[in-house]
Each structure stands twice: as C-alpha cells, then as structure tokens.
A and B are shown apart, each in its own frame.
Chain A
Amino acid sequence: MAVCIAIIGKENAPKYVACTEKDQELDFHYKVHSSLDIIEEKLSATSLTKGTDLREQCLGLLYATEEHKIYGYVTNTKIKIVIVIDANHTGLRDNEIRAMFRKLHGAYADAVCNPFYIPGDPITSKKFCETVHGLLVKS
C-alpha cells in the first residue's frame, strides 16, 4: 500500500500530506512536490493532443525512483492527488491504485462539503485523515 498520500490544491499548494515514516516526511514532501512537474507536463500535453482517452482523471505512474513509485490523479477542479508506493511493493495492480484514488477523491469531495472547511485551506478534518490513514501502509 501507499507510503505517502498527498492532496495538492489548484495552485499547487499542499492541502494535505500524510506519510508513514515521520522522519522522512520532508523527503516525501520534496518527492511529491517534484512530481507536480510531471503532472503539469501531462496536463499540458493532453490539452495539446486533445485525445479523448488521455483525459482520464487518473494519470497513472508519474515516475519511479530506486525506492518509490509515484502515481498521480487530477480532478476536474485541478486538485491533484499523489500516491507514493514503496518500489519493493510489486504486487500492486493498476486497478488497485485506481480504487485508492477514487476513494481519496470521494473523501476529498466530502471534505469540501464540510461546512467547517474553507476551500483552498489545508485539510484538517479528522474524518478525512482517517480515510487517508486507512490507505497508508501500516508499519
């Protein structure tokens, strides 16, 4: 399962970042932040080609390092969801990743409708946190 999950806002500011290893938190932040390069490139590429099949919300694998695989997802409202998977965790199938993204998107949509949430702010809802932590690998 995931070692890091991040929700990133329209203007690329982080709204929520959670990871399993507290001591590597900063490293994950850098990684997630760097993955925005590829997301942005993919978004601009779609707008150029206008291929219908390229407009899926799930962007798939963004890039892989020796330790991690990083997957991306973009909503219609330009909210980006990034999931970091341990590279050694090879058993994960594509549709499992998709399912995680859908679950996160649902949780986000709920969080936005929370009357105590201000869109654009970092997410602090406990309910949302629980959903995310449910998807993080337990170690």
Chain B
Amino acid sequence: MVADEILLELLHAELVNYVCSNEPKEKEPSGQLNKHCNLSTLEYFGFSTGYKLIERFTKDWSRFKDELDTIKFICTDFWTSIYKKPIDNLRTNHQGVYVLQDRAFRFMAKISNGTQHLDAAPLYIAFTSGLLRGALANLGINSIVTAEVQSMPACKFHIQVPRNQMP
C-alpha cells in the first residue's frame, strides 16, 4: 500500500486516541484507553468535515434528482473517494431509512477481525457517522446516523431521515 493512502487511517486513529485521552480523568480513573468516552466530539469532527467536504465533491455533479439519488452518490463516489471502495450494500425502506453496509470498513481494516476489540468499535465509527450526517446536512437532508458493528471490519450505517421534511 502506498504510504499516502494510509495517512488518513493513521490520522484518524490518532484523532481517536487524542479525543479519548482528553476526556476528563475522573470518569475513568483506571488510565486505560477510555472506550466509553464522549463520542460526540468525534462525531462533530466528522460532521464538520463532511459538511465542508461535500461542497467540493458535488461540484461537478448535476443536481441530484431526489433523496435516493443523493444517497447513491454517497455510497459510490463519496465513499470511494474517502475509503477507496464503495459501500457493499444499500438497503432502504423508501420511508427515509437507509442501511449502508461496508464489509471491510477502512478505519477498522487494521484491527483484528472478529470481536477482539469490539468494545472499541464505537470510537472508530463515530467520525464516519458524523461525516455522513454532515455531508447529507449540507445537501439539505437532515438525518440521524447510527452505526452498528457486529464483527470487525464489517460495519453498517443507518441513516434515518425524518419524513416531515422535504428531501
């Protein structure tokens, strides 16, 4: 692998470490890697990045037809640009719920497969959840993004768009 491709992974890993070590110590006095730290900081970094990034990514695209069209863009071009592979599976109930499955999520690719570090998984998906939410927010889709990891490095992101708003 070329070094510049791993740069983002390393930077992200350091970001996770940094955010965890900056948590107030009194909550987790044991000193070990704080796996239950407040994820919202990471999520916010992701939101901010996604919000700004999407402006650039969609620059040369014709306007999206609808919400699904937008999500498809996120799954393919957007995802590939960041994670070097597209989303493996997209499901939707056509009621504003989208499930994006990445069977080999890049930020977890270097972690042991299976469940060895499963309890740390929320740390490694918070940024990306925020990234999705930020990107969609700037595209005019206010959403709730949650993620689920059952066995690393596979990961599922749930995007929920409240139906009262226009896509």
Contact = CB atoms under 8 A, between A and B. Distances in A.
Is there a direct interface between A and B, measured as CB atoms under 8 Å apart in the complex? yes
Interface of A: 10, 46-47, 50, 52, 55-57, 74-79, 105-106, 108-109, 112-113, 119
Interface centre among A74, A108, A109 (most CB of B within 10 A): A109
Given A50-B65, A113-B52, A119-B51, A75 B140 contact: no
A26 B135 CA distance: 34
Interface string B45-58: 00000011111101
Given A76-B139, A77-B139, A57 B54 contact: no
Interface residues of B, number: 17
B62 A119 contact: no
Contacts of A10: 140
B76 to A, nearest CB: 15
A10 B66 CA distance: 17
A80 B3 CA distance: 39
A108 B55 contact: yes
A74 B63 contact: yes
Contact of B56 (A46, A50, A79, A109): A109
Nearest to B56: A109
Contacts of A119: 51-52, 138
A77 B138 contact: yes
Given A77-B138, A77-B140, A57 B63 contact: yes
